[in-house]
Structure 1
């Protein structure tokens, strides 16, 4: 018959701590049912669930054997009867990631939201520490009825504090992410290329108004593309090439993509913009996949038409699935990052969906949100710690 106890040990870290405690238990033939230990900045914590029922010794015998170990290593030892809690198979675990500029009160604020919503914190791990911090918090949301509403609370917290957050399903058996797909305009590059082309063509005001409507979901994207492109008729290839030289990457883009490639990820762009510019970015950034609309160019000038089918929101979602098939992975192994309504199906089809400085309509399709104009923090949503 099981007779379970919890042993907790806290003290300064040094070699031999785990062995000294567990050797005593082994000599008494006390079985370890569960264990977790961690060293944090030179300090050590360990929790053991042990079964006294496998041994002939009493609780007093165990205490008499283990207390000298605590004295020898200056460990704070505590032993108490095990109380049955919610088993992990019955929990709905989610992983909450937070990142941003460090300041007092961050953990208190976040844990307060969890407490107010009857959410138990299972584990907290710091993955970046400096002027900017990042931490992962595993939580049990079994008592939460509406995850979307909870995510909305954290998005409001994010906008209020400037801290970026994500909340997604935690699955210890989940296959690793393999591909990261970005939108282009206002995501990996600053601004909208079509608006800059319109300025060159002298139709900036009209095109920018349609762009804003399309990105907010207030205008059919295909109609918006056709109308805007028609206003670009007559632009020369030389003018397009000049514009490529003035493209400004979003801060953090190059370092992030370099890190992703180093970690073995494939990286791509699915854009409702134009291949003339995404092909340039493919070469500059070493992208593995690029999909975009093709401007029709005849005799060195833009005709005002698109060649082939337009890449709209639905097509973006389809292309993401095609990439999964090409890579022989599931779509859950793909991360998608975008900013506007045209990205909603791409994000909806991905295993991890991140909205970057997003339009309001995109938030409901996302697992997390980056509010700063810097993409480097995406690495923490992927669990990639600082060097």
Structure 2
């Protein structure tokens, strides 16, 4: 249990009356138990260095985009075959698959927004039946990582934009959306959604987001919202 205040999730009235039409989560340390950048760094021999920067970024001490560039730079020279190795080692958070299934069973869509990397996130999401995802791309030349990010970096603003875009695509009002994450760059998205839940989050995030879950089970959200297959949800 986190040493801060005990878990409290106050479900707003719209989500009491109806199931969420869209649930969006972060990936690293939320949908999965690991930080993909750290798994990649393990193959570069820079895991400890990268983990320290990751912790500071997720706690809001560093600008996320700049911290990502610093961490990615340590991956230069790693063979691109690393993506398959890291994907094979990914461990979804307990209850992640069940949460995706229950959201779908209630008629909702599921999306993920990640400061991690498309090369790992995309096949992970396809395998889990997730509807939408967005993540960064790592530049590869001649079969090796260059240590640079290709294209725009996924920031906190990107996460808010994708939440809004996917909600509009599914004709879901924002009050029927739920967002979950653990890091500082997830806070604006959680504040935008109808319900934002800090999941096993850093202290600064828990201070910014009053609704929290500190048990490492994603299907705890399904129970809180009483989605199909969990007690408490009446038929609609």
Q: Which residue of 2 is the match for residue 386 of structure 1? A: 231
SS at match of 2:97: helix
Q: Within 1, Cα distance between the matches of 2:218 and 2:225?
A: 12
Larger Rg: 1
- Does the 8 Å contact 1:352/1:367 carry over to 2? no
- Does the 8 Å contact 1:168/1:367 carry over to 2? no
Q: Which residue of 1 is the match for residue 147 of structure 2? A: 304
Match of 1:285 among 105, 128, 139: 128
Residue segments in structure 1 that go unaligned for 5+ positions in a row = 1-154, 159-163
Residue segments in structure 2 that go unaligned for 5+ positions in a row = none
> Within 5 A, what are the aligned runs for 1:141-180?
156=5, 158=6, 164-171=7-14, 176-180=19-23
Match of 1:246 among 63, 69, 89: 89
- TM-score, normalising length: structure 1: 0.56
> Within 5 A, what are the aligned runs for 1:33-182?
156=5, 158=6, 164-171=7-14, 176-182=19-25
CA shift, 1:297, in A, is: 1.3
Q: Relative to 1, partners in 2 of residues 1:343 and 1:281: Cα closer, same or farther, differing over 3 Å? A: same
Structure with the higher fraction of residues in helix conformation? 2
Q: Which residue of 1 is the match for residue 220 of structure 2? A: 377
CA shift, 1:175, in A, is: 6.0
Q: Deviations over 1:181-226 (max 9, x none)?
A: 0100000101211011111101112111100100000011010001
Q: Relative to 1, partners in 2 of residues 1:265 and 1:189: Cα closer, same or farther, differing over 3 Å? A: same
> Within 5 A, what are the aligned runs for 1:319-330?
319-330=162-173
Q: Relative to 1, partners in 2 of residues 1:323 and 1:172: Cα closer, same or farther, differing over 3 Å? A: closer
Match of 1:318 among 138, 141, 161: 161
Match of 2:209 among 366, 370, 380: 366
- Does the 8 Å contact 2:19/2:108 carry over to 1? no
Aligned residue pair count? 228
Q: Which residue of 1 is the match for residue 184 of structure 2? A: 341
CA shift, 1:364, in A, is: 3.9
- Does the 8 Å contact 1:353/1:365 carry over to 2? no
Q: Within 2, Cα distance between the matches of 1:343 and 1:173?
A: 24
CA shift, 1:234, in A, is: 1.2
- Does the 8 Å contact 1:272/1:292 carry over to 2? yes
Q: Within 1, Cα distance between the matches of 2:39 and 2:66?
A: 19
Match of 1:232 among 54, 75, 81: 75
For CA contacts below 8 A with separation 6 or more, give which structure has more relative contact order. Answer: 2
Q: Within 2, Cα distance between the matches of 1:262 and 1:250?
A: 20
SS at match of 1:243: helix
Q: Alignment RMSD, CA only?
A: 2.0
